[in-house]
Amino acid sequence: MTRMAGKVVLITGARQGVGRSCAIRLAEQGADIVALDQPGPESDAALAGLAAAVRDLLRKVVVATADIRDLEAVAAAVQAGVDELGPLDVVVANAGIFDAPGPSWEIGEEVWVRSIDVNVTGTWHTVKAGVAQLNPIGGSVIIMSSTATVKSHAGSSHYSAAKNAITGLAMTLANELGERSIRVNSLHPGSVATPMILNPATFARLRPDLEHPAAEDVAQVLAGRTLLPVPWVDPIDVSNAVLFLASDESRYVTGLQMVIDAGLAQQVAS
């Protein structure tokens, strides 16, 4: 419980999935957490549960809601966390969406704009607000990208464009912030066992041959796309990578694009 002792971590998209897993994993290793998610009753309840889990680990936590498309709201939430816990040491820009898929020429304007606003502008807002509150001795910024930057699939141009954009943002930030001893790296998960994948709409898209496909039906398809014999990785696999990049164990690692996908991006016949 010492790899993150004394560090304060900001995590967006913290109420569920990878974000929640990161909050718990880093708290297990001694970090105090500023947990941010979008406004709404579901977020309030989920963040309350997360806060209780972090406190059970004897760590401090501040939870807040803000739409990451709203820079002022994000900055205010981050400021509230810093006021209570102290300067940030780590920023995990995890929040993102995979909006309604479809051929590039059929994606609606609203869907395209929302994908770019949340995934790209929201990530920039998170980093902008977070870096302003980083410890003056340095820190770590971790941007959650995707294997969509190295292996795209039909029907996801809005998502692929957004994730490629934030990967470019991470590379630029690594150059800009290095002199301040701030490391910037991006993570590129493949399919992860979270609601972004495990939902009826995705099941139906991946198994149109079945009337009511379930997770086990989709697992057969996804396992055929990876080198390792698994359909997806678990949130803990991503949060373990976040822990490495957040800790001093990676003190000289910056500008890295770390892929966690069970070999999805390397699979030729998919």
Domain boundaries, the chain: 8-192+234-266, 198-231
Average confidence score pLDDT of the chain:
95
Beta bridge partners of 36: 12, 64
159 tagged catalytic: yes
Residue 152: count of CB within 10 angstroms of its CB: 16
Evaluate if residue 177 carries a pLDDT over 60: yes
pLDDT, tens digit (0-9, with 9 covering 90-100), for 37-86:
999 999 999 999 999 999 999 999 999 999 999 999 999 999 999 999 99
Provide the pLDDT for residue 181: 98
Angle at the Cα of 199 from the Cα atoms of 144 and 261, rounded to 5 degrees: 40
Q: What is the pLDDT of residue 270?
A: 46
Summarised one tens digit per residue, pLDDT across range 134-152 is: 999 999 999 999 999 988 7
What's the pLDDT tens digit per position in 77-128?
A: 999 999 999 999 999 999 999 988 888 999 999 999 999 999 999 999 999 9
Contact present, 47 and 25 (Cβ < 8 Å): no
Between CA 86 and CA 182 the distance in angstroms is: 17
Sign of the Cα torsion 78, 79, 82, 87 reads: positive
Tell me how far apart the alpha carbons of residues 184 and 198 are, in angstroms, rounded to a whole number.
30
| CATH code of the domain occupying 8-192+234-266 | 3.40.50.720
User: Where are the alpha helices (H) located in the chain, listed in sequence order?
Assistant: 17-28, 41-56, 71-85, 109-116, 122-131, 157-177, 200-206, 215-223, 235-246
The answer, yes or no, to whether residue 154 has pLDDT greater than 90, is no
The Cα 8–Cα 250 span in angstroms is: 17
**pLDDT tens, position by position, 204-239:** 888 999 999 999 999 989 998 999 999 999 999 999
CA distance 2 to 251: 16
Q: How high is the pLDDT of residue 268?
A: 65
Instruction: Return the ∠ at Cα 129 (arms to 128 and 133), rounded to 5°.
Output: 115
Q: Token match 């509230």: residue?
A: 80
Catalytic member of 98, 124, 159, 203: 159
Residue 269, pLDDT score: 55
